[in-house]
Amino acid sequence: MQSDEYGGYVDSYDFVGTGDAHDDEGMLLVPGQPGRPTDANFDDPKVASMPKILLMGPRRGGKTSIQRVIFQKMSPHETLFRLEATQSLERAIVDHTPLCRFTVWDFPGDFYEGDETVFGGAASLIFVVDAQDEPYDHVLQSFTDAVTKAIQLNPNIVIEVFINKVDGELFLSDESKYDCRRDVYTQVNYELEDAGISPDNINIRYHLTSIYDHTIYEGLSRVVQRLIPQLPTLESLLNVLVSQCSMEKAYLFDVVSKLFISTDPGPVDMQSVELCSDMIDVVLDVSGIYGLGPSQLELGHAAAAAESNSVEGADPNSTSENKDGFDVPDELVGTLISQAPAEDLEEEMVDPDSAYDSESASVIRLSNGMVLYLKEVDTMLALVCITRSENFRKKSLINYNIGCLKKALRALVDNESL
């Protein structure tokens, strides 16, 4: 248990293209958040107090793959040849956006030991089962052992069973997936009862997942949503937004992991979540090509200097243009100038590296009359709305309301850190 690799910070920021150690270090310092750790020290009370997600299960079940694909942007087919069996516990901090912070503990296969330090502060235990490796009975016996221990030490822990690898030839039909879930469910209940635990008394959920499609994002989103104490507030904020602006649906996404951390109370259609999540890819990819700061482009010295001058000029710029006659309160993709207080501008300037910045926004029009509208609402947090194009015409109303939401989110975060 010695190698504490902390992926969340360093690796998950890799997508902005900063490779060298110096920059990575810089990434650890998030401006405007004094007291944040500058080193991934898991004994640090700040880190220790983050909710813990434990990944356990049989060898080759896919624990490390899940961790890498979601939090370190490894492509699923790379897991085939880039991963070796995990030898010791690997921990990672996930802290992209203030509302959604936690640590992920990836255990070696078939490792179910654990004492107070492991299960104590854990919010969830994800048990990853390989759906393509029948029979499951042996695996589920060890599962029962782990669960028994976990709930003894921590009765509040949520058990999340990830029935993973439901893809490929064996699972072409939905029916085969549901059959598989029923099998696992029945056997788990049987095992638990055998061990003297009533399944009704523990918090246990089942998810069918595959790293090759969106199901893994769905499963982890549901896990992560449980960790957010402000969830009810978020939901009601989004509810207000959706009804004020006659939107169909609104989601909050952590743009780095692409997990959705909240939505309005209306029914969730996974297909639309998937589309929103794909939209985030588009926005990050296109911005990564055209919207990076000078440091990533490795411009020549002079050019870089010219550009950094202009970065200072950039924000005043947007106001200085306005002076020639009119405020531009609402460009097609509005910029919320009116809502941006001075500190915000400052914060933006100290972080010129990210392609996703406080003016990040995107509009996608679909042939069925729907519009997807994405807007930055906090560091690495995106609001993605689905709305009918006729309701999208009141653009400044929408932007005004999103501005209010943004303020409210800020207040929620500030409250928490007090």
Partner 1 sequence: MAKKKVLLMGKAHSGKTSMRSIIFANYLARDTTRLSPTLDVEHHHVRFLGDLVLNLWDCGGQDAFYESYFERDRETIFRSVELLIYVFDIESDSPEKDFDHFSGVLEAIEENSPDARIFILVHKMDLVSLEEREAIFEDRKRVIEQECSNFGVEHFHIFGTSIWDETLYKAWSEIVTNLIPNIRLLESHLNTFCKVCDADEVVLFERATFLVISQAQAESSGDDHLLTGPGGDSKEATTQAAFASPSGGADGVPGLDEAAQPSADETNDTSSTTGLVVPPDDLDSAAGPSNDTPRHAARTPHFDAHRFEKISNIVKQFKLSCGKAQAQFQGMEVRNSRFSAFIDAFTANTYIMVIVSNPNVHTAATLLNIQNARDHFERFIPRI
Ligand X SMILES: Nc1nc2c(ncn2[C@@H]2O[C@H](COP(=O)(O)OP(=O)(O)OP(=O)(O)O)[C@@H](O)[C@H]2O)c(=O)[nH]1
Cα–Cα distance for residue pair 64/55, rounded to 1 Å: 8
Residue from the set 27, 44, 212, 364 that interacts with ligand X by CB under 6 A = 212
Q: Does 210 bind ligand X (CB under 6 A)?
A: yes
Amino acid at 37: P
Select from Mg ion, ligand X, partner 1, none the partner in contact with residue 201, using the beta carbon and a kind-dependent cut-off of 5 to 8 Å: none
> Pick from 39, 193, 281, 414: which binds partner 1 (CB under 8 A)?
281
* d(C-alpha 237, C-alpha 411), whole Å: 12
Select from 122, 184, 179 the least CA-distant residue to 152. 122
Least Å from the CB of residue 293 to partner 1: 7
Stretch that binds partner 1, among 24-32, 34-42, 200-208, 353-361 (CB under 8 A): 353-361
Using the contact rule CB under 6 A, the part of the chain among 18-26, 29-37, 77-85, 147-155 near ligand X is 77-85
Q: Cβ(385)–Cβ(250) under 8 Å?
A: yes
Q: Checking DSSP bridges between strand 100-106 and strand 122-130, what pairing results, if any?
A: unpaired
> Which residues neighbour 180 within 8 Å (Cβ) at sequence distance 6 or greater?
131, 163, 166, 171, 208
Which amino acid would we find at residue 331? E
Question: How does DSSP assign 56-99, residue by residue?
Answer: E-STTSSHHHHHHHHHS---GGGHHHH-----S-EEEEEEEETT
CB of 161 to ligand X, least distance (A): 14
Through-space distance between the first and last CA atoms of the chain, rounded to whole angstroms: 34
Distance (Å, whole) CA 128 – CA 140: 10
Angle between helices 215-225 and 270-290 (to 10 degrees): 100
Q: Does 265 bind partner 1 (CB under 8 A)?
A: no
Residues 130-169 that bind ligand X (CB under 6 A): 164-165, 167-168
Q: Quick one: which of 21, 85, 173, 326 contacts partner 1 (CB under 8 A)?
A: 326
Q: Which of 3, 87, 88, 396 binds partner 1 (CB under 8 A)?
A: 396
Residues in 71-90 at the binding interface with Mg ion, rule: CB under 5 A: 86
Q: Which of Mg ion, partner 1, ligand X, none is residue 325 near (CB under 5 to 8 Å by kind)?
A: partner 1
- The first and second tokens of residue 353, run together, are 């590296």
Nearer to partner 1, 227 or 336 (CB): 336
Q: Are 261 and 284 in contact (CB under 8 A)?
A: no
266 scored as a contact of ligand X (CB under 6 A) = no
Binding site for partner 1 (CB under 8 A): 75-77, 212, 271-272, 274-275, 278-279, 281-283, 285-287, 289-294, 297-299, 302-303, 306-307, 309-310, 313-314, 317-318, 321, 325-333, 348, 355-368, 370-371, 389, 392-397, 400
